[in-house]
Amino acid sequence: MRLFLALVPPPALRRRFGELADTAHAHCSGRRVPDDNLHLTLAFLGEQPERQAEELADWLNGIRIAPGQWRLDRWGHFAGPGIVWIGGEPENPLVQLQQSLREKLEGLGIASQPRRFTPHITLLRRAEQPPGPSLPDFDEEWSYTRAALVLSEPTDQGSRYTPLAWSRM
Ligand code: ATP
Ligand code: MG
């Protein structure tokens, strides 16, 4: 089972990110991430046996993450894979959260990626243009309280995500 830990935006914010994805797509082309898939990856766990998934679900059900607020106000670009993303200040509490989850996973004997974390939400993949100055300004605040363990499965229409478990509120 292909698994990752993520923060999932509440529906209204997800729709707002979807609008930004549409805007970015109009400027940069590429493959737009569908609204249902918009998320922040905290830890990519890769292929794990079902047994391990159950243990991870139990573990996450029993922990609380430090709740926080993430201000998103800038466009970003990973040139290699042509990823266009939105994010905020590079130094923010998500970095600490990601690091602490990575350490906890290590304690469970599970390696996770990435090692160097840039908090971001991917909007486009294989974009043909980088995000340029013609893209509009935005300023959104996301109050998050829990993390999800998500199953990623390939389908004809791309990856389908299913949350398997949540951390405590
Ligand atoms: P697709 O691979 O079909 O384009 P996807 O990338 O959304 O879709 P997954 O590959 O299952 O689906 O990835 C799930 C999440 O984990 C995504 O946020 C993705 O960016 C992230 N991810 C995948 N592989 C890695 C990796 N090696 N290191 C860090 N993050 C990763
Ligand atoms: Mg992928």
Q: Whose CA is nearest to atom 2 of ligand 1?
A: 159
Q: Whose CA is nearest to atom 27 of ligand 1?
A: 113
CA distance 125 to 127: 5
pLDDT, mean of residues 4-22: 98
The 10s digit of each residue's pLDDT in 52-62 is 999 999 999 99
Distance 118 CA to ligand 1 centre (A): 14
Residue 41 near ligand 1, beta carbon < 6 Å:
yes
Ligand closest to the CA atom of residue 37 = 1
CA distance 165 to 149: 5
- Name the superfamily (CATH) of residues 2-166: Cyclic phosphodiesterase (3.90.1140.10)
- Going from N- to C-terminal start, the domains of the chain cover 2-166
In the residue annotation, 120 being an active-site residue is answered as yes
Residue 162 near ligand 1, beta carbon < 6 Å:
no
Q: What is the pLDDT of residue 1?
A: 98
Whole-prediction pTM: 0.97
Q: What angle do CA 72, 95, 58 make, to 5 degrees?
A: 105
Task: Supply the mean pLDDT for the chain.
Answer: 97
Q: Whose CA is nearest to atom 23 of ligand 1?
A: 44
* DSSP code at position 111: -
pLDDT, mean of residues 132-154: 97
Q: What is the pLDDT of residue 138?
A: 98
- Looking at the chain, the number of H-run helices and the number of E-run strands are 3, 10
The 10s digit of each residue's pLDDT in 62-85 is 999 999 999 999 999 999 999 999
Share of the chain above pLDDT 70, in %: 100
The 10s digit of each residue's pLDDT in 81-121 is 999 999 999 889 999 999 999 999 999 999 999 999 999 99
